[in-house]
């Protein structure tokens, strides 16, 4: 998907869901390209109108640091599970071509399945409030979308389109439950405080693309603190092919070798 397609997708989303205050995404080239094109388009319009619109919408676009897919947290996990299931389903259906109508309806069914997962523990008390789901927050409705009644069999892939969709949606639901439930199990979190990286620290870059016996060293040139004053990503300066390069990296991809204080003490 190129930047133009993404901008159209973003407009479709906002047309259905309404204006948004904050957008979070990874650093995909299509997202970066879309941001650049939108900024160029804004320069061509009346500046006062743009300022009024941005002030009224207060929309902010936040990019995760490169090489830090874990920053996405929950949504990256949901995307990963859905993608794996859809990839395997499409591989099984390779001889069968899905029309645009079937595929778009299937993705709508998949969206309904993913957004109707419970966000909190389900109580056994029948008088308890309704289960809170992402769909509840998005639509402001507590009723869930019921599945289409009927018995759908593999032969339906070669019959009417609506039966194709329901068969595929049922298959996705079956696999989704098996892969989603393990994500609800308890996981250990980082609970030990460690000192923040500081400007001037010498670090080793964990780079999968580095050739054998190549150990890329870098100095921290800028720290980027989160709202809780913890440094989770930094800008590092390194030398590559004889020229200075600056990268943004999460601290999980860096290995501290010497602090600035230790370097100054050695000198």
Helix/strand number for the chain, H first, E second: 8, 7
How wide is the angle at C-alpha 133 spanned by C-alphas 105 and 28, nearest 5°? Answer: 60
Q: Strand 202-205 and strand 217-225: pairing?
A: antiparallel
Residue at 177 is within a domain: yes
pLDDT along the chain (267 residues), means of 10: 68 80 69 58 47 57 68 77 88 78 90 82 54 81 78 82 88 83 60 82 75 69 88 87 84 82 70
**So what's the pLDDT on residue 31?**
53
Considering the domain architecture, whether residues 148 and 210 belong to the same structural domain is answered as: no
Helices (H), the chain: 3-17, 29-43, 47-57, 74-92, 100-115, 134-139, 161-180, 260-266
The gap from C-alpha 225 to its chain's centroid, in whole angstroms, comes to 21
What pLDDT digit, counting tens, does each position of 60-75 carry? 777 777 666 666 677 7
Residue at 57 is within a domain: yes
**So what's the pLDDT on residue 266?**
63
Domain residues for the domain of 243 are: 201-265
Residue 133 near residue 116, CB atoms below 8 Å: yes
Residue at 195 is within a domain: no
For residue 45, what are the β-bridge partners? Answer: none
**So what's the pLDDT on residue 208?**
64
**So what's the pLDDT on residue 47?**
42
- Tokens at residue 18, please? 């309404």
In the chain, the number of structural domains is: 3
Considering the domain architecture, whether residues 155 and 229 belong to the same structural domain is answered as: no
Considering the domain architecture, whether residues 81 and 9 belong to the same structural domain is answered as: no
Residue at 192 is within a domain: no
């Amino acid at each position: 998907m190129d930047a133009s397609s993404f901008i159209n997708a973003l407009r479709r989303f906002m047309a259905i869901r309404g204006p948004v205050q904050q957008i979070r995404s990874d650093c995909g080239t299509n997202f970066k390209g879309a941001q650049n094109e939108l900024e160029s388009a804004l320069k061509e319009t009346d500046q006062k109108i743009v300022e009024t619109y941005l002030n009224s919408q207060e929309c902010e676009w936040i990019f995760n640091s490169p090489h830090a897919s874990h920053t996405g947290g929950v949504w990256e996990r949901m995307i990963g599970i859905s993608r794996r299931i859809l990839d395997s389903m499409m591989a099984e259906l390779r001889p069968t071509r899905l029309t645009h109508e079937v595929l778009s309806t299937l993705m709508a069914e998949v969206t309904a399945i993913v957004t109707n997962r419970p966000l909190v523990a389900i109580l056994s008390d029948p008088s308890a409030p309704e289960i809170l789901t992402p769909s509840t927050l998005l639509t402001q409705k507590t009723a869930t979308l019921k599945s289409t009644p009927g018995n759908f069999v593999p032969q339906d892939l070669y019959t009417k389109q609506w039966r194709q969709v329901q068969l595929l949606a049922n298959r996705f639901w079956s696999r989704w439950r098996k892969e989603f439930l393990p994500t609800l199990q308890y996981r250990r979190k980082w609970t030990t405080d460690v000192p923040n990286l500081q400007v001037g620290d010498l670090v080793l870059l964990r780079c999968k693309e580095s050739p054998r016996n190549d150990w890329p060293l870098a100095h921290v040139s800028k720290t980027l603190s989160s709202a809780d004053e913890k440094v989770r990503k930094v800008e590092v300066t390194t030398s590559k092919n004889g020229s200075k390069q600056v990268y943004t990296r999460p601290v999980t991809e860096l290995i501290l070798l010497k602090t600035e204080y230790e370097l100054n003490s050695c000198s």
